[in-house]
């Protein structure tokens, strides 16, 4: 298996379960191994791993002022 495949599998399983900073660090580390992922896919994957209440809050804010860089 190559690094990209392993990173994508890990990203799919990644969930925010304890400290938020640990989730962000792990997500960021995995994203570095996946060079060709679009910004929209990065945002989707980041939000997918969040707890439900955090997903709802980000979606609410996204409607008003969130931009993807």
* Predicted confidence (pLDDT) per residue in 31-68, tens digit: 999 988 999 899 889 998 999 888 888 888 776 665 55
Count up the domains in the chain and report the number.
Answer: 1
pTM equals: 0.76
69 within a domain of the structure (yes/no):
no
Range of the domain at 17: 3-64
**Which string of DSSP letters, residue by residue, matches 1-62?**
--HHHHHHHHHHH----S-HHHHHHHHHHHHHT-TT--HHHHHHHHHHTS-HHHHHHHHHHH
Q: Would you say residue 21 has pLDDT above 60?
A: yes
42 within a domain of the structure (yes/no):
yes
Q: Would you say residue 3 has pLDDT above 60?
A: yes
| pLDDT of res. 35 | 86
| pLDDT of res. 22 | 95
| pLDDT of res. 67 | 54
46 within a domain of the structure (yes/no):
yes
């Amino acid at each position: 298996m190559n690094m990209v495949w392993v990173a994508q599998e890990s990203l799919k399983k990644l969930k925010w379960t304890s400290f938020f900073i640990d989730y962000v660090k792990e997500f960021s580390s995995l994203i570095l191994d996946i060079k060709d992922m679009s910004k929209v896919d990065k945002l989707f994957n980041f939000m997918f791993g969040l707890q439900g209440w955090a997903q709802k809050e980000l979606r609410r804010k996204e409607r008003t002022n969130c931009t993807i860089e």
